[in-house]
Structure 1
């Protein structure tokens, strides 16, 4: 059987991202992708509408990514949106603008569905794990953070979606100072205070832009010690300096202090160190495509 070549575009609070894969027998092989910092959730307090210029940037990025997916031979493209669109009073405007410009539907995911896709994508191809082993997945995004527990055999059994992400927390000074980090930790601690997962996972996987970026600083395992070390790196120079030294986008470096604090809180809540997963939301979406 010829592998199916399919694609997903994920409209998030920070980025709009394309992933093109070949799917065969429940496995995904990446063919290509694109990422644009469209910052849809930037400069917006909770309950405020999305800015028109940010919506326009997303519409433009989606057009470029649809063309790229077609050039790579994708037979279908699934467009999904997460926290920035679902939480905004004018989120429907993003859906309508993409439909009008490109004739395609943007599917807005609720928190539970987003968590389920993240779990599926993070655990695909996981080796050496028994089917009934309790696993956790943490998805720190720009506008929300999802925690999921489940097994390979049964899928997700518990999840929570918190309306807090790297783009919703205050930006730090350049470079960050101890007071910035203390303020972030206080805000995040308050958001996580009532979360009580019904078990301690044997393995906890982290997905999302913060997790995949921080490994450039400290590697694949995001223990409490390594997260503190990563924050130390971010505090050691300006955004431009850190971005140049570690081959990262400046916008991502700006968001990372908040992302790292969120990852640390998630690890503490789950009672297990995090490991960066090889897949995430987009892979989960593509696994579910019929």
Structure 2
């Protein structure tokens, strides 16, 4: 009788500004095998830009999500966890108290990582899929990361404090937003991107790659996917013209109307427009006219860096 070796399951949890995600995976002889991927929209960045503090409601939502993830992980007999927090937790003054509360209630330790470390994890995730010259963008809730790499090696990276939650809260107050609100947001994004990326952008040619919720959501909208399908989203493409048409459609709709759009998750309906404008300005500053979506991102990067590369 052959006794099969038990498969060892591990988990990584990313506490972002808009969503909290968990990847359960195994290390199969140096190859990362995804087993389960979950997302909960906890909106940790709620009000952080205005108050500099994590909102009690956001803390409650996130604690509930982490508790749920702990139960899911138990079903998979997960042996080890790695949790990391990004932009909202970097910016909030009361993050330390929340980290203590999570540790006391659930036994989880959370590492709050820098924007540069977040960008690096995104690159590690993407480099599992692409090995040519790549410029990666990751539009998050609170920040946007840009990473340039060649031959699976990062050449330079930066984190810009503009994300889809932050821009929505700062510029979009009407429903649907007014032309003036959209124009002001667009101008501010372009000015900041142009200033920050001066001297950063690589010489062409390179492949422009998008990771994270904005990129994947725009792909599911374009394809009209009723449920998320990794195989359909991964390596799909969106052109600048297609993006501009999607922006026109999104901008004309109320949040409630966007919630009913095929391909868009309802809890992303209020922030997708700001995310699309951030992407439009990435097209503008790079001069590119098409990008490729990658379904591997900083979650897979953290899993690979923490549990696969070090073993």
State if a TM-score over 0.5 links the two structures: yes
Deviations 1:148-202, CA, capped at 9 Å, x for gaps = 001233x211001011111111335323343232122012012212213241351
Name the structure 2 match of 1:42.
Answer: 46
Pairwise CA RMSD of aligned residues? 2.0
When normalised by structure 2's length, the TM-score is 0.85
Say which is worse superposed, 175-184 or 5-14, in terms of deviation: 175-184
Q: Work out which of the two has the higher radius of gyration on C-alpha atoms and give 1 or 2.
A: 2
Q: Are 2:112 and 1:108 aligned?
A: yes
Per-residue deviation, 1:287? 0.5
Structure 2: distance between partners of 1:180 and 1:223 = 25
Gaps of 5+ in 2: 224-235
Gaps of 5+ in 1: none
Question: Do 2:10 and 2:81's aligned partners in 1 also have CA atoms closer than 8 Å?
Answer: yes
Q: Are 2:254 and 1:238 aligned?
A: yes
Name the structure 1 match of 2:177.
Answer: 176
The 5-angstrom pairing of residues 97-136 of structure 1 reads 97-126=101-130, 131=131, 133-136=132-135
Structure 2: distance between partners of 1:191 and 1:97 = 36
Per-residue deviation, 1:142? 0.3
Question: Do 2:48 and 2:88's aligned partners in 1 also have CA atoms closer than 8 Å?
Answer: no
Q: Are 2:230 and 1:223 aligned?
A: no
The aligned length equals: 284
Structure 2: distance between partners of 1:17 and 1:172 = 28
Per-residue deviation, 1:137? 0.9
Name the structure 2 match of 1:152.
Answer: 151
Question: Do 1:7 and 1:74's aligned partners in 2 also have CA atoms closer than 8 Å?
Answer: yes
Structure 1: distance between partners of 2:137 and 2:238 = 12
User: Runs (4+) of structure 1 moved beyond 6 Å?
Assistant: none
Q: Are 2:204 and 1:188 aligned?
A: no
When normalised by structure 1's length, the TM-score is 0.90
Aligned with residue 100 of structure 2, among 81, 96, 100: 96
Per-residue deviation, 1:46? 5.0
